[in-house]
Structure 1
Amino acid sequence: MERVLIISHVAAGVTTLLSGILAAFFGKRGGSVHRAAGKVFFWSMAWIFISAILIVTFVRFNFFLTIIAVFSFYMTFAGQRVLKIKKTLKPLPIDWIAAFIAIVFGLTLFVAGIRFLILSDFSSSLGYLSIVFGFFTANTAWLNIKGFRKAKPDKMWWWFAHMNLMSGAFIASLTAFLVQNGALFQALGNMGWILWVLPAAIGSPLIAYHANRYRKQFGVGKYAKAEKI
């Protein structure tokens, strides 16, 4: 059972990376390739989350695996739900519940990170990891809740929300893949920390660039104001 869980978890991780690349860089946004790859990405991420919970519960506890699994799946779940909510503008109870659970998890993780740092005289990498992912998990969920409560969403809000959430989930899964690969850490020696920041360092500017390009295309944000002058 342990072997099956681990192998399926790894297989789902590889599938997530491949389908994420396919959805992000190949095919038209909203086209058949993008939608198909997106579905594979979602269900692969769902199994990563489920198998991770089973592994840390019944096989061996791994704090890093738990953090990444919860963070990446919530972003994937919320990113997928945005496409449903855009039609009705009415989030379902499951959307509220998932957001509140993510906030509680994120805040708990943030506090735990501070505790780890204090106990280790601020030398615990796990402490910094917990603070960073705790903050982003809680903040992402809070932004979603604010969006749920907004009476009149911004133009094309769902497009940018979907793009940011799914891209964030992909960056998290890529980070997990790199960090979990011990061989890469050994090859980099003392520079192994690069693997923690490289996906976000490359991905964040790309997300910002494409978000700005779509704002210009859709005429929203600063581009909408420019058109009114």
Structure 2
Amino acid sequence: MTEIFFNILLALHILGGTIGLVCGILIFILRKGTRAHAILGKMFIPGMLLAGITSLIMAILHPNSFLFMVGVFTVYLVGTGARTISSKNPIANQPLDRLLQLGMVCSGLSLGYLGTVGILNGNNFGIVYLVFASIGLLMVMQDFKNSKGQQLDKKAYLRKHLQRLGGGFIASSTAFLVVNLRELPDWFPVWALWLLPTLLISPLISFHSKKYKPTP
């Protein structure tokens, strides 16, 4: 019975991840702020949340600490990005926001610990843990900074929305590559494959974020 439930979760996970990946690609390609962009965003967010939440449950049924922490990472990024655009406010100090931040802090510290131990033991895959931990913890620090009540510019919520959902798209792209590219050349390390979407997509996120320059 447990295996049947796990397989159902896996199917939902793949469905959500596929929706997130396809919609994310189209969102990056198409013009921002259009009706098509809004429709795709409304599909991308639940798709990615479905992928993230199912990964959390699967990681509990078949204990996998890394899968669980990546699930928290995905839910945090997409959840905060969705809440930002729905409220048009970058300040995140509500109970749900604090819960998402707490989950990310715990996962970030755990990823940082595992990454450090891995590197000290000669496992270069620890670099992946450290990169993901750094990104997540930096964004939580941004949330705490924005919740202090200082005046923010009128486009801050757009930049945050773009950066958080862009991070969710990186998570979806990473999962797609890792699952489908099983045979790699001997000279190409596995940890580099995990970081490839981050290296390729992050500059695009930065480029689009600059379009929403701070305004008083």
TM-score by structure 2 length? 0.86
Q: Are 1:6 and 2:5 an aligned pair?
A: no
SS of 1:82's equivalent?
helix
User: Counterpart of 2:206?
Assistant: 208
Q: Are 1:56 and 2:55 an aligned pair?
A: no
User: Counterpart of 1:160?
Assistant: 159
Q: 1:88 to 1:57 in 2, by over 3 A?
A: closer
CA distance in 2, matches of 1:98, 1:87: 16
Task: Supply the AA of the counterpart residue of 2:20.
Answer: T
User: Counterpart of 1:72?
Assistant: 74
Q: 1:23 to 1:113 in 2, by over 3 A?
A: same
User: Counterpart of 1:32?
Assistant: 35
CA distance in 2, matches of 1:204, 1:30: 20
CA distance in 2, matches of 1:6, 1:38: 23
Q: Are 1:173 and 2:175 an aligned pair?
A: no
SS of 2:185's equivalent?
helix
User: Mind listing any 5+ residue stretches in structure 2 that lack a counterpart?
Assistant: none
Q: Does the 8 Å contact 2:13/2:55 carry over to 1? A: yes
Q: Does the 8 Å contact 1:67/1:133 carry over to 2? A: no
CA distance in 2, matches of 1:73, 1:90: 15
Displacement of 1:66: 2.4
Displacement of 1:101: 2.4
Identify the range of structure 1 (78-87 vs 152-161) with the bigger mean alpha-carbon deviation.
78-87
CA-atom RMSD, angstroms?
A: 2.3
Identify the range of structure 1 (153-162 vs 204-213) with the bigger mean alpha-carbon deviation.
204-213
Q: Does the 8 Å contact 1:99/1:142 carry over to 2? A: no
Displacement of 1:87: 5.3
CA distance in 1, matches of 2:168, 2:91: 23
Task: Supply the AA of the counterpart residue of 2:18.
Answer: V
Identify the range of structure 1 (156-165 vs 63-72) with the bigger mean alpha-carbon deviation.
63-72
Q: 1:112 to 1:88 in 2, by over 3 A?
A: closer
Name which of 36, 43, 47 aligns with 2:46. Answer: 43
Q: 1:214 to 1:91 in 2, by over 3 A?
A: same
Q: 1:67 to 1:88 in 2, by over 3 A?
A: closer
After TM superposition, list the pairs within 5 Å mapping 1:128-147 onto structure 2. 128-147=127-146
CA distance in 2, matches of 1:197, 1:90: 28
User: Mind listing any 5+ residue stretches in structure 1 that lack a counterpart?
Assistant: 225-229
Q: 1:189 to 1:159 in 2, by over 3 A?
A: same
Q: Does the 8 Å contact 2:19/2:47 carry over to 1? A: yes
Number of positions where the alignment pairs a residue of Structure 1 with one of Structure 2: 211
User: Counterpart of 2:185?
Assistant: 188
Greater helix share, 1 or 2?
A: 1
CA distance in 1, matches of 2:211, 2:148: 27
User: CA-to-partner distance for each residue in 1:33-77, whole Å, 9 max, x for gaps?
Assistant: 21221121111111112211221111x233442232221221111
Q: Does the 8 Å contact 1:103/1:142 carry over to 2? A: no
* Large movers: runs of 4+ above 6 Å: none
Q: Does the 8 Å contact 1:13/1:48 carry over to 2? A: yes
